[in-house]
Structure 1
């Protein structure tokens, strides 16, 4: 599985990124993958490679690039217990100062970069994200309905910007929530907002999961939750990006 590291020009300076794509040449549908708040690290690279093995060019940008290149903060090989609390304490100020406007500026740069890659098939792309990266993914999809055909977010605060964001979403969407993050009542409220906005979506709580459940290098990892995530993400992308997959 070929991989590469990249520098993506943005108005606020270069953003480093990781890309994975199928071997053997050709052009493949693009997927923009926003990592969780802990950033690009081995587990994220492995997930990007897994997704690329299904026929996609996967671009994983460092959306906290204004604070420095990867690793923006030092991340232990296993994020749990007191170490997790310390990592969260270091990364939260960076998340809190990352604005919606910065997300949109970056999305323009990242999507433009994907469109210009010779390995990427022409046409709409998919966007997926984890934790805060899931909210950033939704922002990108809402801001670029003509470019994004599918959006997914996992254990993410997808409603943080309010229902007006959903009103601009035309992409097919899947939102996979941690049981520890969302109550059934909150899920119902979110579903009503998505329906009111006309979003073609699925939104569900993954049983017995905690925030961050997809990340195998943390103490909240849930193997069944990760499998369920792939079972939802892959069909979503395959359906929305079918033409590009076939032509690639």
Structure 2
């Protein structure tokens, strides 16, 4: 499908959130995917990923995940300075503020012209965590989480009792986890902790580990695995086609 893109500034309890919207040009009644970026916000690789998803018949919303902490339109570089700033933002923002962002995005999606009202979530790196976190909201029918960081450690700032790992049982939709076996950010012990919790809570989940490094989806840099990336897009489209399309 041919797609178009535009920007929206969405009001949230913690300020205005710039959000990039990709959607098919052809009229229709399409579901929506919230696509959460890495700590660097909407870089060129993230924009290309969103465009790929949209071209399969979805509205795709890419929010600036740290909108409270940066000027609108901020994109961090894939260098040490960008990584340091992104990590600083990650440890500064409360998970509750991500939750209110997600709620604002859901409400925005459900009012979009040409949207069927069904919403899913997808993300990479910290965005994988945020897609998982979004699935705590009962409106999220499915989530596709790629090498999601900081779930196993339950270490992102949150109120007592509201950590992402400890709230896993609240997930109602279907969730897919994809992990790189060579990813130092989520070692084997961490993956095992998450897998065991998935089994114990009885959530509806799919588990996949691949021979890949962290950020293997990013089509810039030495860790990119194009063959695996294509497979992941196909699996995500299949998941959302099955769970979000009426």
TM-score interval, normalised by the smaller of the two chains? 0.7 to 0.9
> What SS does structure 2 have at the residue aligned with 1:164?
coil
In structure 1, how many angstroms separate the alpha carbons of the residues matched to 2:144 and 2:72? 24
8 Å CA contact 1:151–1:171 kept in 2: the answer is: yes
What pairs with 1:125-204 in structure 2 (closer than 5 Å)? Answer: 125-142=119-136, 144-145=137-138, 147-157=139-149, 158-159=151-152, 160=154, 161=163, 163-179=165-181, 180-181=183-184, 182-204=186-208
2:15 match: 13
Q: TM-score of the superposition, structure 2-length normalised?
A: 0.87
What pairs with 1:115-134 in structure 2 (closer than 5 Å)? Answer: 115-122=110-117, 124-134=118-128
1:205 match: 209
> What SS does structure 1 have at the residue aligned with 2:132?
helix
Alpha-carbon shift at residue 205 of structure 1 (Å): 1.6
Alpha-carbon shift at residue 150 of structure 1 (Å): 0.4
Kindly provide the CA deviation profile for residues 124-166 of structure 1, in whole angstroms up to 9, marking residues without a partner as x: 3110111111111111211x21x11101111112433354321
In structure 2, how many angstroms separate the alpha carbons of the residues matched to 1:60 and 1:99? 19
Q: Which runs of 5+ in 2 are unaligned?
A: 155-162
Q: Which runs of 5+ in 1 are unaligned?
A: 244-248
Kindly provide the CA deviation profile for residues 58-116 of structure 1, in whole angstroms up to 9, marking residues without a partner as x: 111101101224542542xxx3xxxx333212221111101111111111111111111
In structure 1, how many angstroms separate the alpha carbons of the residues matched to 2:23 and 2:30? 8
Higher normalized helix content (fraction of residues) = 1
8 Å CA contact 1:5–1:18 kept in 2: the answer is: yes
Of the three residues 106, 110, 114, the one matched with 1:111 is: 106
In structure 2, how many angstroms separate the alpha carbons of the residues matched to 1:60 and 1:98? 18
> What SS does structure 2 have at the residue aligned with 1:203?
strand
Decide whether aligned partners of structure 1 residues 189 and 68 sit closer, same or farther in structure 2, where only a CA change above 3 A counts.
closer
> What SS does structure 1 have at the residue aligned with 2:12?
coil
Decide whether aligned partners of structure 1 residues 196 and 41 sit closer, same or farther in structure 2, where only a CA change above 3 A counts.
same
- Count of aligned residue pairs for this structure pair: 232
In structure 2, how many angstroms separate the alpha carbons of the residues matched to 1:162 and 1:11? 20
In structure 1, how many angstroms separate the alpha carbons of the residues matched to 2:112 and 2:164? 33
Higher normalized strand content (fraction of residues) = 2
2:229 match: 226
In structure 2, how many angstroms separate the alpha carbons of the residues matched to 1:130 and 1:98? 18
1:214 match: 217
